[in-house]
A = this chain, B = another copy of it.
Amino acid sequence: MKLYEQVAHSIAERIEQSFYQTGEKLPSIRSLSLTHEVSISTAQEAYRLLEDQGWAESRPKSGFYVINKQKAPQHLPDLSRPIQKPIEISQWEEVLNLLCASTTSDIVQLSRAIPDLEAPTLKPLTRIMSDLNKHAQASMLSYESLRGADSLRLQIARLMVDSGCRLHPDDIIITTGCQEALSASLRAITQPGDIVAVDSPSFYGSMQAIKAHGLKAIEIPTHPETGISLEALELALEQWPIKAIQLTPTCNNPLGYTMPVEHKKRLLELTSRYDLPIIEDDIYGDLSYISPRPPSIKSFDTQGRVLLCSSFSKTLAPGLRIGWVAPGRYVNLVMHMKYVVTASTSTLPQHAIAEFIAQGGYERHIRKMRAQYHQSRDVMIGWVEKYFPVGTKISYPQGGFVLWVELSDEIDTVILNERTMRQNVSIAPGMLFSGSGKYSNCMRLNFTDKPSVKNENAIKTVGNMVSKMLTDLL
């Protein structure tokens, strides 16, 4: 154990023993350096580690504070039980309604997974955009190369080392958000009519891509802590001519789990027999609360079978529409599918993000956001436990900023959403996350914002409405 790790460890122990309480100010760097007889930079390193491990957070011009270390909720959701046969995805209308719902500023949007865009650590990115726009006008207005800006692909290849991937920049294609990465990947490896296995519940955007491509989905039971059931997947593979798997194994949307490394490896092994391509959605991966972030399935793939899809929409800003795909052996097919839908990706944000990463801005921002979302998760779970009826089941996210809540079977969250919307709070109904109308008693809530009275009241509004609906049922 290195010196700074020892110092961090001793502080973490004291937090665990409640020597330092939640929200309490921790010793200053100077005092830590004096009491532990280490250099200032070692004390700084120690706090950096405590931040990464989710023990402490820094507040500007104030110092370091103990983060609320929420225990896992008492009742986790059950293992999901979707229909065990291939289905056609039905619910486009509902997705469209969610996406087109009014977005006036007086509505507390717990429904959409948009990151915090007011963070001060994002400001340098805006400055870089302005500079590039001003000083390199003509080149920023022209087409970027089909594959994407060289500088950005280089930076992404470097970032991906954190998830255990060693890629060449030419293994990466820049896309218009993660959605284009997922969509181009799906089309590259399937034909209309094919069956794709998915974790369930699953992100509605990728489910809609499956629908639009004329594919069928088989939804695999999924555990709220360990992810897709490998046993159920194995059975499905034996029973059906499955042509691809699509899943979000790290900081899953909507369930929040991260598949254990051993499961990720076993998934690769299991699918090796069928030489099956795997679309790995890693969009929330860098927002894992533990640091270093967990390895991707892609990092264990020696056969080029994994198409890793990601973007800066959750880590930086969705309005830039910059994502990427590392399609392994399918790179030429994916490139064709990318070309025909959008030709090249917009130029300015690619160069701005590359510069932001190169200057260290991405790492700084991610560290801040990880700590913020980690803390918000714990506050959010506390609120749901406080304001929702007894028996409510709550996920325990390991990264990202969405929570999955399972209510009593009688509650229909589409109706719940209609009612809370009248009180200016929107939630994402669970049925969006299934192709077969499951999860109608579930919902997804985001906890992007820093905890506030407004948000606490929003949760209270939803909780009270659930209680009222239950009472009405009696």
Contacts and interface: CB of A to CB of B under 8 A. Distances in A.
Nearest to A213: B340
Given A100-B147, A336-B208, A142 B117 contact: yes
A165 interface: no
Contact of A340 (B118, B142, B147, B208): B208
A340 B176 CA distance: 11
A142 to B, nearest CB: 5
Interface in A140-185: 140-147, 176-177, 179-180, 183-184
A146 B319 contact: no
B319 A140 contact: yes
A126 interface: yes
B133 A114 contact: no
A134 interface: yes
Contacts of A316: 141
B205 A343 contact: yes
Q: How many subunits of this chain does the assembly comprise?
A: 2
A342 B344 contact: no
B118 A126 contact: no
Interface residues of A, number: 63
Contact of A133 (B130, B176, B340): B130
Interface in A183-209: 183-184, 187, 191-192, 205, 208-209
Q: Taking chain A's interface residues, is the majority helix, strand, or loop, or is none over half, making it mixed?
A: helix
Interface stretch (A346-354, A372-380, A409-417): A346-354
Interface in A99-122: 99-100, 103, 112, 114, 117-118, 122
Contacts of A340: 179, 183, 205, 208-209, 211-213
A457 interface: no
A114 B142 contact: yes
A348 B349 CA distance: 10
Nearest to A137: B126
A96 interface: yes
Interface in A336-369: 336-337, 339-349
Closest 9 CB pairs of A and B: A141-B317, A319-B347, A212-B340, A117-B138, A321-B346, A179-B343, A176-B342, A209-B340, A117-B141
Interface of A: 92, 95-96, 99-100, 103, 112, 114, 117-118, 122-123, 126, 129-130, 133-134, 137-138, 140-147, 176-177, 179-180, 183-184, 187, 191-192, 205, 208-209, 211-214, 316-321, 335-337, 339-349
